[in-house]
């Protein structure tokens, strides 16, 4: 099963091309783009589960997305600072916390330790494309190798403590897309076993979906 829970496409035709040519089973896309695609989606020849996604910039003032947004799409919370990230780890509600280049400093092993103590299941979503972009730009702050090392450490900690973590491509266009098999190869090069890769690429994303659809944390809001 090929799952990519966040494709950051802006164009509906790109989603259709990607899904039809590369055969995803579950694809996540921003809810505003999905609304534009509703007429074209029946053209797809194969059955695909499309998940509406939305991004919430979490701050201390607005930690979680509003309720109506929770029902409409699977939210991804991007913490703005360390304090917000720690607060998100402790809320009594299922949340998906983003791990990208900006949040790498505070969504780390310590954050995973906090999340493991929470009673409600929480997830970390690794947005991979911004990390791969580091290979193209000469950043003095962070190298690709260093960034991937930290991501690997965080994933390893999550797997050890059974905190949900999954990797999404977050590709902005079809030219820079990362297929789930490519992500699998990348995880293999980081040293993860086949079982661990199945957990990250198949088991935890489906668990996050099941959780959002109302079996665990979000059901309390309905």
Partner 1 sequence: MDTLTLATLIVSVGALATSLLSIVIAMRTRSLQRVERSIERLREIAGTRRYRRMKRYVLLRVVCFEDVPIESFVKELVSKLYNCMGIALRARCGLALAAYRPDLGRAILRVSGDPQCLKFVLLTLSLRHFLDNVPCIAIPLRTSGLLTRLRKYLRVYR
Residues that bind partner 1 (CB under 8 A): 17, 21-22, 132-133, 135-136, 174-179, 181-182, 185-186, 188-189
**58 or 168, CB closer to partner 1?**
168
**90 or 176, CB closer to partner 1?**
176
Structure token pair of residue 65? 């997305």
Report the distance separating Cα 135 and Cα 218, nearest Å. Answer: 38
Quote the Cα angle for 112-145-7, to 5°: 65
Report the distance separating Cα 11 and Cα 183, nearest Å. Answer: 23
Quote the Cα angle for 78-80-86, to 5°: 85
**1 or 185, CB closer to partner 1?**
185
Q: How far is the CB of 22 from partner 1 (least distance, A)?
A: 6
**43 or 92, CB closer to partner 1?**
43
Q: How far is the CB of 103 from partner 1 (least distance, A)?
A: 21
Structure token pair of residue 185? 């190869």
Q: How far is the CB of 86 from partner 1 (least distance, A)?
A: 33
Strands 164-168 and 49-58, how do they pair? Answer: unpaired
Q: How far is the CB of 185 from partner 1 (least distance, A)?
A: 5
């Amino acid at each position: 099963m090929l799952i990519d829970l966040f494709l950051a496409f802006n164009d509906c035709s790109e989603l259709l091309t990607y899904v039809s040519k590369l055969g995803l089973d579950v694809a996540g896309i921003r809810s505003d783009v999905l609304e534009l695609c509703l007429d074209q989606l029946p053209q797809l020849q194969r059955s695909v589960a499309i998940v509406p996604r939305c991004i919430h910039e979490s701050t201390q003032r607005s930690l979680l997305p509003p309720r109506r947004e929770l029902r409409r799409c699977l939210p991804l919370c991007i913490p703005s600072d360390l304090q917000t990230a720690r607060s998100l780890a402790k809320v009594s509600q299922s949340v998906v916390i983003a791990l990208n280049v900006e949040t790498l400093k505070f969504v780390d092993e310590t954050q995973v330790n906090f999340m493991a103590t929470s009673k409600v299941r929480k997830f970390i979503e690794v947005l991979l494309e911004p990390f791969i972009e580091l290979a193209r730009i000469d950043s003095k702050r962070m190298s690709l190798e260093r960034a991937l090392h930290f991501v690997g450490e965080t994933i390893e900690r999550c797997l050890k403590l059974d905190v949900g973590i999954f990797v999404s491509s977050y590709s902005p266009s079809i030219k820079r897309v990362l297929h789930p098999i490519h992500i699998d190869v990348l995880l293999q090069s980081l040293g993860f076993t086949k079982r661990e890769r199945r957990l990250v690429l198949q088991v935890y994303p489906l668990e996050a979906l099941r959780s959002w659809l109302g079996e665990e944390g979000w059901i309390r809001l309905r």
